Amino acid sequence: MKRRNFLLGAGAAVIGGGLLARPGDHGAPYDAYFSALNQELKKNGPMRPCLVIDLDRMDRNLDLVTATLKGAGKNYRIVEKSLPSPKLIDYISKRSGSRRLMSFHQPFLNDDAVLFPDADLLLGKPLPVRSAELFYKNHKGPFDPSRQLQWLNDTPERVQEYLELARGLGTRLRINIELDVGLHRGGVSNNAMLGQMLDLIAANPQQLEFAGFMGYDAHVGFGVPPILGTPQELLAKAMGEYQGYVDFVRSQYPRLWRDDLTLNAGGSPSYPLHDQEKTSSEISTGTALLKPTHYDIATLTKHVPAVFIATPVIKAVGPIEIPALDGKSRIVSWWDVNQRDLYYIYGGFWRAEYESPKGLQFNPILGVSANQENVSGSPATGLKVNDQVFMRPEIVEGVLLQFGDLVAMRGGKIVDYWPPLSA
Ligand SMILES: Cc1ncc(COP(=O)(O)O)c(C=O)c1O
């Protein structure tokens, strides 16, 4: 199609098909909160893409978690993969009084053992036995794995592998057993399977010790179609299954039972509902402290977003111009006021949603870039070069490792820089 015909066609489609749908103005300037953050980052910030942790907001979320769990008589376990910075973890540990950490990555596990020598560490996923071996090879310092570390095992085969590792190392490994309580992400799903694992543990007391259960229940808070169950019903079902496994150990393996076993459950989506059950002894939560967008869910309505990607505007180029269409592409910015001002930001291509100023959007016609991404908005945003664009990440695990030192802020001011763990 010739360019003129293309433009005429595009214009006709826009006008003919869209008179009813012409976009309204979604733009609005920073509110007072983001205006203060913008001023501070422009004056004292790194002026490159960074992750801002708002400590006032995180405190509020953390205090909700600790108050709920305290009221329920349960311990709190900090999820390291969602908060992977030693200073961040230390801060949360001190404020919550928890020394319990859930780890998911062998290099981080080694770091945890050195940085938090009095921690109680539980793996959140079963690591290949070779990873476990590497942990022991690299381990140094006073942290005592035979007392302070629980490996997660999901199958009889893995218990057998860990048994052989323990024999080779001449040490005793504490084994926590993963339960499938409805998420169906693996783990024990019947008593016969559990019995095989406990038989192996019971038969090898010099090498293996039963340390408890882990039953993660994200499906409870993330929800399923309502016809299949409310979060409360799903939690009751999950914890009914959990209790069944507890009863099985108590009745069939009384010598393995101890009242201080770790009976871990939860996850951010379900933690507020766990005050309804008496089976678990502790709840793991990490992401709820920061509340990225995927956690805008019914169970976390009291939580507030406490993490933002902030990045400076590098260029303000005016109305959008599509390469090769050049000035003729003005029809786009004429049609859609939200595309009237085009900007390029420092970095991009993140899994995140624009937060402030309001009404910013990405234009796929101009292509993606992790170096300088396009973003457009209406004049109502008031955005200028060197201002910050604020985004909310979709999730935090992995994301907190991508931006260098986390920028800790309080009362709208930068108070510290917290390096992330490095893999
Ligand atoms: C075993 C386990 N427990 C707890 C969690 C909860 O982590 P968060 O609260 O950060 O979502 C997860 C997350 O994947 C998990 O895998």
Q: Is the CB of 267 under 6 A from ligand 1?
A: yes
pTM of the predicted structure, to 2 decimals:
0.93
Q: Is the CB of 68 under 6 A from ligand 1?
A: no
Q: Average the pLDDT over 39-51 and give the result.
A: 98
pLDDT of residue 7 exceeding 70: no
Look at residue 2 in the predicted model and tell me its pLDDT: 46
Q: How confident is the model at residue 356 (pLDDT cuts 50, 70, 90)?
A: very high
Asked if 50 contacts 404 with a C-beta cutoff of 8 angstroms, the reply is yes
pLDDT of residue 14 exceeding 60: no
Question: Could you tell me the sign of the dihedral formed by the alpha carbons of 238, 240, 242, 248, in that order?
Answer: negative
CA distance 326 to 187: 58
pLDDT of residue 397 exceeding 90: yes
pLDDT of residue 98 exceeding 80: yes
For ligand 1, what atom is nearest to the CA of residue 284? 4
CA distance 317 to 328: 16
pLDDT of residue 259 exceeding 60: yes
Q: Is the CB of 299 under 6 A from ligand 1?
A: no
pLDDT of residue 371 exceeding 80: yes
Nearest of 419, 342, 294, 308 to residue 49 by alpha carbon: 308
Q: How confident is the model at residue 369 (pLDDT cuts 50, 70, 90)?
A: very high
Q: Is the CB of 300 under 6 A from ligand 1?
A: no
CA distance 25 to 238: 46
Asked if 146 contacts 172 with a C-beta cutoff of 8 angstroms, the reply is yes
Residue nearest to atom 1 of ligand 1 (CA): 124
Q: Which of 216, 285, 291 to mutate to test the pocket of ligand 1 (most atoms within 8 A of CB)?
A: 216
> What is the tens place of the pLDDT at every residue in 202-234?
999 999 999 999 999 999 988 777 788 889 999
Strand 208-216, strand 173-178: pairing: parallel
Look at residue 13 in the predicted model and tell me its pLDDT: 46
| Same fold for the pair 24-51+305-418 and 55-292 | no
What residues does each domain of the chain span?
24-51+305-418, 55-292
Buried b (16+ CB within 10 A) or exposed e, 109-135: bbbbbebbeebbbbbbbbbebeebbbb
- The percentage of residues in the chain with a pLDDT greater than 70, rounded to a whole number, is 95
Task: Give the number of other Cβ atoms within 10 Å of residue 348's Cβ.
Answer: 21
Q: Is the CB of 110 under 6 A from ligand 1?
A: no
262 CA → ligand 1 middle, Å: 16
Buried b (16+ CB within 10 A) or exposed e, 243-276: bebbebbeeebeebeeeebbbbbbbbbbbbbbbe
Q: How far is CA 24 from the centre of its chain?
A: 34
H or E element that contains 116: none
> Is residue 183 classed as helix, strand or coil in its secondary structure?
coil
Domain 24-51+305-418 belongs in CATH node 2.40.37: yes
Q: Is the CB of 286 under 6 A from ligand 1?
A: yes
Q: Is the CB of 292 under 6 A from ligand 1?
A: no
Asked if 42 contacts 374 with a C-beta cutoff of 8 angstroms, the reply is no
Q: Is the CB of 284 under 6 A from ligand 1?
A: yes
Q: Is the CB of 82 under 6 A from ligand 1?
A: yes
CATH superfamily of 55-292: Alanine racemase (3.20.20.10)
Look at residue 6 in the predicted model and tell me its pLDDT: 45
Q: Average the pLDDT over 184-210 and give the result.
A: 98
> Is residue 318 classed as helix, strand or coil in its secondary structure?
strand
Residue nearest to atom 6 of ligand 1 (CA): 267
> What is the tens place of the pLDDT at every residue in 282-328?
999 999 999 999 999 999 999 999 999 999 999 999 988 888 888 88
- The percentage of residues in the chain with a pLDDT greater than 90, rounded to a whole number, is 86
Q: Is the CB of 285 under 6 A from ligand 1?
A: yes
